[in-house]
Amino acid sequence: MSEEKDFQQFFGKHADSYAHSSSHASGSDLQEFLRMMAPKSTDVCLDMATGTGFTAAEFATKCEKVIALDGTEQMLDKAKKLAEEKNLKNMEFVVSTVEKTPLKDNSVDLVTCRRAAHHFHDKREFLSECRRVLKAGGKLGIVDMIRNEDDFHDIRNKMEIARDSSHFYAPKISEWRKMVEENGFTIITLEEMEEPYTYAKWLSPIVEGGDEDAKAKDIILSEGKDDLLRAGFDRDKMTFSKKRMILVASRI
């Protein structure tokens, strides 16, 4: 299955679950992201991989215009419905991949991407596209899960792929810093957040009892206890400590 068909199949199937996800809708990272990005009323914002539109809708209350872009039409349909419910008239919806968008060069003031970049196969191409569409001095903001620096066996990514075949790779925060700086940005601020998850909450929208659950539990049983702890998973309690970064950078 191609990369594009892979994520379209997963998110098309689970669009309704994401539309009702309280974590995506009102997680503490969203308000912190908004604060750190400090959008202005004259800003045009592009929300990459918008999903069901929670981040785009929040920024639309602060910006002149928000372009909500996603590669899955079912997810964008949920985002459109959210905009209607919130009576947001300043949102535009675009079906596109994040690596090659139809936007013009130097056309937006902000680019945002929340809880999606771990799905991108070519993060450098994504960053290059962000730089292309941003005006000089414009801001890029990324919120995403990160792999622990001492997760030596890459257990975090193995488990995420077991749960969701469209997951590709969640880098370490040090990897993100290097990629962003090498692709024409200066980092303004970079913060790390941590959120506890039960196993069932982490697995959602997948439910226990299926193939994905079995694959994840095989990893939990086969990896060493200390290695799991370094990856943020406590096998005794069946709990995760999920780390996310919030990165804000300026286009050079």
pLDDT tens, position by position, 166-223: 999 999 999 999 999 999 999 999 999 999 999 999 999 899 999 999 999 999 999 9
> Is residue 122 scored above 80 in pLDDT?
yes
Residue 196: cis peptide before it, omega within 30 degrees of 0: no
DSSP β-bridge partners for residue 91: 66
pLDDT band at residue 1, thresholds of 50, 70 and 90? very low
Answer whether 73's CB lies under 8 Å from 99's CB: no
- Confidence (pLDDT) at 6: 56
Domain ranges across the chain: 3-149+166-196+242-251
List pLDDT tens digits, range 53-111.
999 999 999 999 999 999 999 999 999 999 999 999 999 999 999 999 999 999 999 99
DSSP string, 9-45: HHHHHHHHHHHT-HHHHH-HHHHHHHHHH---TT-EE
pTM of the model: 0.90
pLDDT one-digit tens code per residue, 224-239: 999 999 999 999 999 9
Q: What is the pLDDT of residue 26?
A: 56
The yes or no reply on domain 3-149+166-196+242-251 and CATH 3.40.50.720 is no
Tell me if 54 sits within 8 A of 143, measured CB to CB. no
Mean pLDDT of the chain: 92
With cut-offs at 50, 70 and 90, classify the pLDDT of residue 21.
very low
In whole angstroms, give the CA distance from residue 19 to residue 9. Answer: 16
pLDDT at residue 19 in the model = 47
